[in-house]
Structure 1
């Protein structure tokens, strides 16, 4: 088959034109709602439509695309590779329309610029408070919307265009499609207790992991990286993490348990660093070798961050670099 002047065959060009002439924004918005909710019923509720209407719209879109975009099942809706590919472009279409509508509606009064940020709970209490404070000092009228959740939840929201970027961890290859990762720092676990905790008076100069098991523990929830490293740490010493732990992703709850009782808190070290620096908590001198985990910035590969996001990202990079240098200095001083 002969190609025309731009290198495309007539059949392919006509097929593309046929799809583009028939696809509607309702198809795109329906697909985005499914991608964001990962559930047809919740997508229908979000769009204020019936579930059959959403299913019908999705079937129409898949017929136009000539490919299955969503796998439906009891566990919800999962994007196929074709769906993941279409999602990257659908997010851009949605954002372009939103920008156009905002330009028309807000021609006389510009809206407040907001950065949509996602972060793991164990990361959010580290660099982010200082980073957001610096951002507000530079950009007093900028808004920040911070969402915390599991890594999988945040990456799903990032792919669907609900977040501008995420501060989190690398995921399995299937979750990283269309995303990039930039390392900020690596952190190990810390085992922390309140001052005057009985473990600090252990004979022989310090506590052991075996002696830690005599006290209530607060740890990350099952399925998270900190929890995996916590279990591995005990297993490497021939011990098992007891079932009677308090499991939570809430750093505020875990912190208060450690401050107000004999509970031992096992957490990524930066989460408790401020409390340790102020003397409100004490880090037990226990080996946590092998628990270091990289934390970094996750972005959509095909989308450049907006100006406000870029400003906050630069602040995070600067703080991470300074924090890492400070950590090395403290180790040498110790």
Structure 2
């Protein structure tokens, strides 16, 4: 349990004395008197119940208890400075942009609402939203070109160095235009699939393994006419004007299903369901605008779940 008697000045003074190995030098840098430094260190030692410094000839040296406390005190000061800088940058609008990678499943369903909520916070921050294949977005997150990826949970081997926060689950559907011939096929849908062009997720897509396992489980080892794409704009335009079948995450076409321009084939794809959420680097501390944006994404996701 953290003792509420420990104040910022205790940490700041302790760290500076440890760095300088001198009360006098620490006092000069902190612009306070030597007795004030000594008093502050004694207060800290009283709270901790141990000595953090000891005499070493005419000077001082840090004790083993002090060494143990130093790394935590230093980390706490760093976190506080980063928090201050984060707020300061946000207020003065001079921070670098927040860079978000969003898979198509959330680009059309979650992010517009999340951004609307974010703008209502009146934070002068710049937002950059990019879409692409999951593997590409995760690599950009890994090297620091993105601050956040919103989409499906990646395979375990791809999640090293990342943390994932689950928001909701979503399944893959087989989507066609309104009035498509297959809508009248009933239970014979799978047997008739080979008669139509099929838009498939690319091999690098995160949902591709789910789709392949689902097709194999339903007796389909190959489809004669496949078009691989992650472009939702192409998929939407092509399927609306042809008899093609679009295998896609439900969130990408949620609005099209709602307005009736597209519909899903009457087959059970619940086994393709997977978690959708926020992926960040475990070693990164989010700036204040990013923290707020993540909050609005969570709210948008809750609205989708309850809607």
Give the TM-score band, short-chain normalised.
0.5 to 0.7
Decide whether the 8 Å contact of 1:207 with 1:284 is kept in 2. Answer: no
For the aligned residue pairs, the C-alpha RMSD in angstroms reads: 3.1
Going from structure 1 to structure 2, the CA distance change for 1:238 and 1:172 (only over 3 Å counts) comes to: closer
1:177 to 157, 160, 164: 160
Structure 2 alignment gaps of length 5 or more? 1-60, 66-77
In the alignment, which of 266, 269, 275 is matched to residue 250 of structure 2? 269
The counterpart of 1:208, out of the listed 189, 192, 195, is 189
Shift of 1:291: 0.5
Aligned equivalents of 1:207 and 1:279: distance in 2? 23
Pick from 176, 181, 186: which aligns with 1:198?
Answer: 181
| Structure 1 residue aligned with 2:272 | 291
For the pair shown, which has the larger CA radius of gyration, 1 or 2? 2
Q: Which residue of 2 aligns with 1:186?
A: 169
Q: CA deviation at 1:243?
A: 4.8
Q: Residues 198 and 110 of structure 1: is their aligned pair in 2 closer, same or farther, counting only changes over 3 Å?
A: closer
- The 5 Å alignment of 1:308-323 reads 308-323=289-304
CA deviation profile, 1:168-203 (whole Å, cap 9, x unmatched):
33334443232211001111111111111111233x
Contact 1:112 1:141 in 2 (8 A): no
Alpha-carbon distance in 1 for matches of 2:274, 2:154: 12
Equivalent residues of 1:181, 1:298 under 8 A apart: yes
Contact 2:105–2:250 (CA<8 Å) still a contact in 1?
no
Pair 1:260–1:140, CA change in 2 (3 A): farther
Match of 2:212 in 1: 231
Q: For the residues of structure 2 that align with 1:115 and 1:160, how far apart are their CA atoms?
A: 15
Structure 1 segments unaligned to the other structure (5+ residues) = 9-91, 104-108, 327-334
CA contact (8 A) 2:133 2:204 kept: no
8 A Cα contact 1:231 1:241, kept in partner: no
Aligned to 1:116: 99
Q: Distance in 1 between matches of 2:123 and 2:110?
A: 19
Structure 2 vs 1, CA of residues 130 and 206 (structure 1 numbering), >3 Å: closer, same or farther?
farther
Where in structure 1 do 4 or more consecutive aligned residues deviate above 6 Å?
A: none
